[in-house]
Structure 1
Amino acid sequence: MAHIEKRNRLDEESFSFRVNKNSTVFLDFNGKQVKILKGKEAEKFLKRMNDAEDAKSRQLIMAKITGNFKRGNER
């Protein structure tokens, strides 16, 4: 994984997720919601998170799913 993430930003654990009773997944970055997953997309995400081997790989999964959401206007 060293070749994927060269700045060690995933060590900070900036990403988190929440699941509600309807199996909707809310992805957060530094406490702010950035993406919502529903249905099959949410199921696939939860399976990948359960299969992940450590916290850094979970952070990488969430970073890839959220994509390039920062555009310079965040505060």
Structure 2
Amino acid sequence: MDNIDKRNRLDEAPFSYRVSKYNTVFLDFNGKQVKILKGNEAEKFLEKIKMAEDEKAVQLLLAKATGNFKRGNERMVNTKKNGDF
């Protein structure tokens, strides 16, 4: 797994998930919902989570479930003061 997370972003645990009483899974990134899993997809995801070895493995599963979400080339908007770009 060390080869997968070269920048150690998953150590910060940016992903989380919630399960509703109807087995709908809500995937969050930094506290914001990014994806919803339902039905068979949700059941398969929950089975994989149960089989995860540790928290980093859970974070990797969450990152993969979000799909092509973060590549590392995103920039922060309005990072400079006074709106100067």
SS in 2 for 1:63: helix
- Provide the rounded CA distance (Å) in 1 between the counterparts of 2:38 and 2:62: 15
Q: Which protein shows a greater Rg?
A: 2
- Taking the TM superposition and a 5 Å limit, the aligned residue runs for 1:1-75 are 1-70=1-70, 72=74
Identity %: 67
Distance 1:70 1:53 in 2: 23
Gaps of 5+ in 2: 78-85
Q: Which amino acid aligns with 2:67?
A: G
Which sits farther off after the overlay, 32-41 or 61-70? 61-70
Unmatched segments (≥5 aa) in structure 1:
none
| 1:70 to partner: Cα distance | 4.5
Distance 1:59 1:23 in 2: 20
2:43 alignment partner AA: E
* Alignment CA distance shift 1:9-1:70 (3 Å): closer
Q: CA RMSD in A?
A: 1.8
For residues 75 and 42 of structure 2, the distance between their equivalents in structure 1, rounded to whole angstroms, comes to 28
Query: Which residue does 2:82 correspond to in 1?
Result: none
* TM-score, normalisation: structure 1: 0.91
Structure 1 runs of 4+ off > 3 angstroms? 70-75
Amino acid at match of 1:17: Y
Larger RCO of the pair (alpha carbons < 8 Å, separation 6+): 1
What number of residue pairs does the alignment pair up?
Answer: 75
